[in-house]
A and B are shown apart, each in its own frame.
Chain A
Amino acid sequence: MKEAMDHLIIVPIVLPLISGALMLLLEERRRSLKAGIGIATTVILLVVSLVLLQQADEIAPGTGLRTYQLGNWPAPFGIVLVLDRLAALMLVLTSVLGVATLLYALARWHRAGPRFHTIFQIQLMGLNGAFLTGDLFNLFVFFEVLLAASYGLVLHGDGKARVRAGLAYIAINLTASLLFLIGASLAYGVTGTLNMADLASRVPGLAPGDGSLLAAAAAILGTAFLMKAGTWPLNFWLPTTYAAAAAPAAAMFAIMSKLGVYVILRLWSLVFGPGAGPLAGFGADWLLIGGMLTIVFGMIGVLASQSLPRLAGCSVLVSSGTLVAAIGLGNGSVIGSALFYLVSSTLGIAALFLLVELVERLRDPGADVLAVTMEVYGDSDEELEAEIGVAIPATVALLGGSFIACALLLAGLPPLSGFVAKFGMMAAMLKTNGGAVPTSAWALIALLTVSGLATLIAMTRSGITSFWARMSDSVPRVRIIEMAPVVALLLLALGLTIGGGPAMRYMESTAQALQAPQGYMTGVLSPPRGDDGPAETRP
């Protein structure tokens, strides 16, 4: 039983691969069977990742982590999967979104194009692999796996807008992948290793000339990841693509841009941590300024959005920018709350993408542009006839309630978890042990507040035009299977608030482990040799 548990780490990668491949063999017509397999896989993934989360939480910070050596080759030579608190957290988040979006897609979207279920599973596999891998080149491979699947998901459902957005999306991601390769191979050329822990342990001993080469490699790698995360000025593709994608695909993409943030957090705290000698803290200012500019850009985008999908796309930018800036601040206790923010904003954005598609059914095409134009020219009051006593149908009430919850979550207002996260970040920034609060922290606090306000204004405006000033009186048909995932995601966010204590404690210890990269290095490079792996398979 113990040995079986050791192999649990690789399940999040192998299981979706197998089920995705299996569904490729099934005919396109056997949709309910495929749906069954898909749901079963995602639910098992959720259970497995919860078990892994619990296992990761049992590890004391700084003493090591769980590794899985593929082929039983020891770490710097073989490929290794690493499970620590951060990876486990991201796994759980991925599988939660996986279950929710797949359930949503079963209502209608999975019929919109061929091989949806296979692509979806491969996307999950790529995400899980990227979160688990401890090796730079495997990170590239898993990135490509998830990108290949995401190209399929962007184009899912077809149509002119999707193909046009997909074209730009694929081109920009291929370029980012090439940058990734240049950075990874440059890092290999300098340090002679691709294992992230090994690479980090070699940084302090680098020759001065090699140090600047490694900095160049890190900058190129960072550019590739910032492109994925959607940092300004590398993010003009993001709102268009996310708005054009089908709702379940866009909701999955909410975690994809967080993958860029995750990699930056992982690599940056590992390689340029306090022990990195002259390179310690390399690029922190770039992350901070880039993140803050992204918040500004996303904020303007949110305010200027004339359609709900675009508004959701721009909130992805605000969330990414907040996270990148918080990482760049380089303050351990801020990171803890930032992780909390990561979880809560990902849940909120995914719920919003799913919800937007349902809300869009309320309105006639073109109503958005009309609504904004009406505001500008001020002739909206003429149609205000006696609408007193019009009953709001239950469906619309539920949609509206969820919309309000999304707005509260994204703007960071109580009682949902967005408030806890933002409050935590601000409190951590202001706590300086007697010293003065740096200007950058003040600027970030101001931006966090203003971006919350902007989100609230934009969401309120869209909410009014969608729910109160409806142009058509027909009640849209929304199936329970579509509404349930949205409500579930929002309830999870509520649960994060109620269980805020334990959740915050987990995030804090994750941040602590990230601040002490030595634990990661020793954990990967010299894992405790126990009674596990059969030693005779090694040559």
Chain B
Amino acid sequence: MMELIFALAVGVLTASGVWLLLRPRTFQVIIGLSLLSYAVNLFIFGMGRLRIGAPPVLENVEAVDPALYADPLPQALVLTAIVISFAMTALFLVVLLASRGLTGTDHVDGREDAR
């Protein structure tokens, strides 16, 4: 059950992210990228296998059964990925605003479609 909900969440986030990424407004693109990065972070987390109530940090170094513990590495990777994608989103936001200011439109091409 947990796996199903998790997979659905990743799927819905990815689908919405991709759709928004392909939209013509820069704001939609940035929201799409954010949603995609959430989906990717969840996916990385899921790659360490989903476990409930298992601590990721070993408590005493003597003989312990690793099966009782969650994999700490994906959690560390997710932290790194969150920080990086957060920073990149902020930077993208700045460029987006600069583009809006310079071209006077929020279209990704810097000009409105001819209609």
Contact = CB atoms under 8 A, between A and B. Distances in A.
Main secondary structure of the interface of A (DSSP, over half): helix
Contacts of B49: 189
A175 B95 contact: no
Interface stretch (A164-172, A260-268, A340-348): A164-172
B91 A164 contact: no
Interface of A: 137, 141, 144, 147-148, 151, 155, 160, 163-164, 166-168, 170-171, 174-175, 177-178, 181-182, 185-186, 188-189, 194
B31 interface: no
B interface, how many residues as a size bin?
Answer: 20 to 34
B54 interface: no
A178 B40 contact: yes
A182 B77 CA distance: 11
Contacts of B109: 164
A148 B87 CA distance: 9
A170 B37 contact: no
Interface of B: 21, 26, 29, 33, 36-37, 40, 43-44, 46-49, 73-74, 77, 80-81, 84-85, 87-89, 91-92, 95-96, 98-99, 102-103, 108-110
Nearest to A147: B88
A163 B33 contact: no
What 5 A-B pairs have minimum CB-CB distances, sorted nearest first? A189-B47, A185-B44, A164-B110, A185-B47, A160-B102
Contacts of B85: 174, 177-178
Contacts of B48: 188-189
Given A144-B84, A144-B88, A177-B88, A167 B33 contact: no
A164 B95 CA distance: 9
Given A171-B108, A189-B46, 16 more contacts: A137-B77, A148-B88, A151-B95, A155-B95, A160-B110, A163-B99, A163-B102, A163-B103, A167-B99, A170-B88, A171-B92, A174-B88, A175-B33, A177-B88, A181-B81, A188-B74
Contacts of A186: 47
Contacts of B47: 185-186, 188-189
B95 A170 contact: yes
A188 B47 CA distance: 7
A144 B91 CA distance: 12
Contact of B91 (A151, A185, A188): A151
27 contacts: A137-B80, A148-B88, A151-B91, A151-B95, A155-B98, A160-B103, A163-B98, A164-B110, A166-B95, A167-B96, A167-B110, A170-B91, A171-B21, A171-B33, A171-B92, A174-B85, A174-B92, A175-B33, A178-B33, A181-B44, A181-B81, A182-B43, A185-B77, A186-B47, A188-B47, A188-B77, A189-B47
Contacts of A168: 108
B80 A141 contact: yes
A151 B103 CA distance: 19
Contact of B84 (A141, A164, A166): A141
Nearest to B91: A151
A185 B33 contact: no
* Best-buried of A147, A148, A151, A163 by chain B (most CB within 10 Å): A163
A208 to B, nearest CB: 20
* Best-buried of B47, B74, B87, B96 by chain A (most CB within 10 Å): B47
A135 to B, nearest CB: 11
B46 to A, nearest CB: 8
* Best-buried of B74, B87, B92 by chain A (most CB within 10 Å): B92
Nearest to B92: A170
Nearest to A143: B84
Contacts of A163: 95, 98-99, 102-103, 110
A156 to B, nearest CB: 13
A138 to B, nearest CB: 10
B92 A182 contact: no
